[in-house]
Amino acid sequence: MGDDSPFAIDVDGRTVRGESLTELVAALIPGYSDAPAEALEQRYRAAVVRADDLQLSACLRAVEDGSLDLDELDESALTPLFASRSELPLVPGDVWELGVTLYLVATDYEPFTTRTKPVGNVAFVDPTNERTLLASLSDAGSLTLFVQEGAA
């Protein structure tokens, strides 16, 4: 990573290093709190924004490369693709089979709520804690997370 920091992220064209995951999340969320309940709400709101951005980017790439034709889709496919994650889009039959990955927020579904977690071509941004938020954003390609071997 270029220094002794145990954690780093590459995001939005910049590298942020930190002694803790909290420092990295604070770089993503201005005013990030140390209070657990407030921090969870802040991570949730950030997860919604990032999932919305990931979804829009995935749709734009698919339209540009010809793998997604919006004229061929009905509302049951368009709504989950383009509704904000804050609106908890309904996934018909809880199965997403479209070629475009559907990005959702993990805490909107089981085991956090009674809503069934959709399966199929679905990726979840997970704001449960700092590690899951950063790891899920890294898995989705929204940022790159670096953790030194042996870091907690």
> How many Å apart are CA 20 and CA 34, to the nearest integer?
12
**90 inside domain:** yes
Structurally, how many domains does the chain consist of?
A: 1
Measure Cα distances from 2 to 10, 11, 15, 19, 146 in Å: 13, 16, 11, 14, 11
**152 inside domain:** no
Domain that holds residue 58: 36-141
Per-residue tokens: 48 = 């919604």
**28 inside domain:** no
**Could you report the average pLDDT of every consecutive run of 10 residues in the chain (152 residues)?**
83 94 95 89 97 98 96 95 93 95 97 96 98 98 93 72
Model pLDDT for residues 94-128, shown as the tens digit of each residue: 999 999 999 999 999 999 999 999 999 999 999 99
Measure Cα distances from 94 to 76, 116, 119, 121 in Å: 12, 7, 6, 11
**8 inside domain:** no
**24 inside domain:** no
**69 inside domain:** yes
**111 inside domain:** yes
**16 inside domain:** no
Per-residue tokens: 150 = 């042996």
